[in-house]
Amino acid sequence: MADGREILYFDAIPTERNAADQRDLPSTTTHSQARYDALLGEWVVIASHRQSRTFLPPADQCPLCPSTDDRFTEIPEHSYEVVCFENRFPSLSTAQAEFAEYVTGAPLALLRNGFGRCEVLCFTSDHAANFAELEPERVRLVVDAWADRTAELSAIDGVEQVFCFENHGEEIGVTLSHPHGQIYAYPFITPRAQKIAASVARYREQRDGNLFEDFLAAERAAGIRVVQSNEHWTAFVPPAARWPYEVQLFPNRQVADIPDLDDAERDAFAEIYLDVQRRFARRFPDPMPYIAAWNQAPAGHRDSWWLHLQLFSIRRAPGKLKYLAGSESGMNVFINDTTPEDVAAELRDVR
């Protein structure tokens, strides 16, 4: 790209891609820091340079649409299938900067360079589309792109976890409406992954079993919270769901991350995920805003991890959203307004 960032195209068949980025862009600079919260034992990323990022531009000014002869965007080509590129306003960057060891005046708050990488993954060149409207073949191509980027980013020295995700809907906080997701390569293991890994280790020690395997087997056996399943995947509402509408998708075989999925599992995921996505889209008069979050194995946990996708929405009823209020935001204790069993039944009934 014109400012030195990397861009990669993913095509179903080999396609020549040689359009040049004709924009006059300044070099991308970041000032990210990672600060350690000693009380919670968690890292917080400080990325003040992101205040100037693009915010809800009109459709004819979308930076994720293909370039035209009259307007140049982030994607130089005039058309594309799936494309991935480094974020122009990244929270984390592989660029190195010198920082003190601790935050000024806070000797317990460790300070690191905001090392990592943030990428944007566009699912289609059609600005007006959404994920639920994609064809299975396109979703399979997206899965292959996730796998490629996960393998590539995981190999970077210092990266501890790769997180592929999609934010959809203005209510969620999306700043660009074009169908896209993001990929973060973190220099640490995220709090959620740390908690899951600790639970898995504790379960193994106490019961000599695999927590993931037993959790999935129980849901498949009970069936009351299963929304959809096929030969390779099971989609169910978790029994202790935190969000009004939440579905987790587990492969029926233990794999650590997306690159570990074989061809049959990738094809089967495209089918079941589109099914669940369309149920989310048709449950209420307006499509649900949602977050789709892949939980892949962090560094050091490949042998014990079980890949899964968490899809959840803050929509609890027509015209009503679930806000994270005092208990959730202040104490991280979620209070759900729906019942997992009822939600699963409602989603199964969506036609």
Question: 108-120, pLDDT tens digit by residue?
Answer: 999 998 999 999 9
* Chain position carrying tokens 């700043």: 175
What does DSSP assign to residue 115?
B
Q: What is the pLDDT of residue 294?
A: 98
With a pLDDT cut of 70, the percent of the chain lying above it is 98
Q: In terms of Cα–Cα distance, which of 12, 39, 156, 28 is closest to 85? A: 28
Q: Which residue has the higher pLDDT, 57 or 133?
A: 133
pLDDT at 147 over 70: yes
Average the pLDDT over each of 28-37, 171-180, 181-190 and give the range with the smallest value: 28-37
For the full predicted model, state whether its pTM sits above 0.85. yes
178 noted as active-site residue: no
pLDDT at 136 over 70: yes
CA distance 115 to 294: 21
CA distance 102 to 21: 40
Query: Is residue 175 very low, low, confident or very high in pLDDT (cuts 50, 70, 90)?
Result: confident
Average pLDDT over the chain, rounded to an integer: 95
CATH of domain 192-349: 3.30.428.10
Q: What is the pLDDT of residue 51?
A: 64
Residue spans per domain, the chain: 7-188, 192-349
Q: Which residues contact 111 (CB under 8 A, 6 or more apart)?
A: 33, 34, 35, 36, 99, 100, 101, 102, 103
Question: 304-320, pLDDT tens digit by residue?
Answer: 999 999 999 999 999 99
Question: 66-79, pLDDT tens digit by residue?
Answer: 999 999 999 999 99
Average the pLDDT over each of 175-179, 196-200, 244-248, 306-310 and give the range with the smallest value: 175-179
| Domain 7-188 of CATH type 3.90.1150.110 | no
Q: What is the pLDDT of residue 52?
A: 64
168, 178, 180, 232: the active-site residue: 180
Q: In terms of Cα–Cα distance, which of 163, 158, 182, 190 is closest to 43? A: 190
pLDDT at 98 over 80: no
